[in-house]
Amino acid sequence: MNGRTALGLLIFGIAAVISFLINRGDDVDGSRDEAGLPEGYYLKGVALTGTDAMGAIKYTLHAREITHDPAEGGIALEDIALDYGSSEAPWTVRADRGRMPGTSNEISLSGNVAVESDHLNKSGHTMITSNSLLVSIDNQTATTQDAVRITVGRGSLQGRGMEVDFANEQVSILSDVKGSFDPPPQ
């Protein structure tokens, strides 16, 4: 079972249990629940873990809130943190908002998007920021066409467009690259 299937089954299972507990067999008009909220499910304080075929953790997705929209078949996420990798080379992706189309294993992130790692190189903390990022959960990759800024130790790079390979610890800025690096203090 791949990560996308496991994540989808986990979300579906949680939604089914919540739906059963809320409705308990009551008739519902099909458009709104008893509180007047639209149909779908709402989860708060979520942590979902994806594993590889051997059971090792590939990622953990944290979200303050996940909302399912049955009309569009998509999932909206709020206040997201996606942790990738082992304890030796972890990555954390953060964003205010995310959107997953119904059958996709991709999350489209927006709002204060940041990618961080303390183990990408020997220069210390690496911080990547952008307006948006499309993360492929199963492939452990991410891309954007927006402006990006990478800060590594005492240096920074700016450019437009980026590809990240979390598993291989590679980051590429695609165009308009500019940068500055200050020498270490003596």
- Interval 90-122: pLDDT, tens: 889 999 999 988 777 899 999 999 999 876 556
The token duo for 142 is: 């991410």
Return mean pLDDT, the chain: 79
Q: How many other C-beta atoms are found inside a 10 Å radius of the C-beta of residue 91?
A: 23
Quick one: fold of 3-25+42-180?
Answer: lipopolysaccharide transport protein A fold (2.60.450)
Residues 6+ apart with CB under 8 A from 132: 108, 109, 110, 113, 144, 146
- Interval 145-167: pLDDT, tens: 999 999 887 788 899 999 998 88
In 3D space, the residue among 30, 117, 6, 133 whose CA is nearest the CA of residue 77 turns out to be 133
Largest interatomic CA distance in the chain: 74
pTM value is 0.73
**Could you state, in order of their start, the residue ranges of all structural domains in the chain?**
3-25+42-180
Residue pointed to by tokens 């998509």: 74
Alpha helices in the chain (DSSP H): 3-23
